[in-house]
Structure 1
């Protein structure tokens, strides 16, 4: 019933304001009422269900010529004590990390590809997934990544495609 764009807009507000899903639906309903729009609002269970499988389309301005892609990853703590608390009191439970793999246009510095994995997933296996997100409307020029992406599996994928 609700488009991916509507669900993505609600989930974006949820993330921006750090709201639970029920409060998010209330905020969206209030914003629509203030705008004088009589549009339906997805309930929290719809948002919860759809956020698991939602494909997010990242808007971008295409660069001129071939796309030069910069690829790297970073770790993001998902759960567990903060650094200060863990140092002072000892860890209360194991910390849970995620890796965010980004592909950035070197000219416009806009994100063109993103993957989030568990902390135990290496960088090289994610390279094909990142490159698959680049649409065919712009030729791919140079791909620059750190040594973690420089494996036989990643290079064989690169040369076979």
Structure 2
């Protein structure tokens, strides 16, 4: 599949499509991104894996798409591999901090945690990869997150 063919197909699905395995693909003005949302066992948290906007060529290359059936098969495992390779983020929202979800991104030997809406940034020198890891981060850093939440409109 060429980039042009892929772009034409996505244009016919505008503004995006959902694969049979639940991956949402958004195609707007020549940029493409993907996301997969789910809730953890702990109902107070929701999770969303997503990729930033990228070119069609990068998308095809990073997801290893050769034809439309490859596209249709994309799901949780595919975007999860991109997270583990530092090419996607995980956004975790605790319902009581609904206005300030945290984003997690693996980078080298650490996990970066940030929220633009909270003016929050942190790093931990371990890879956070399981829903339990993200939830544990929220509980261990409750006071930092609460302070950022309380001060979010002051900056």
Q: TM-score, normalised by structure 2?
A: 0.29
Structure number with the higher strand fraction is 2
Q: Which has the higher contact order (CA 8 A, sep 6+)?
A: 1
Give the TM-score of the pair, scaled to structure 1: 0.28
Greater Cα radius of gyration, structure 1 or 2: 1
Higher helix share: 1
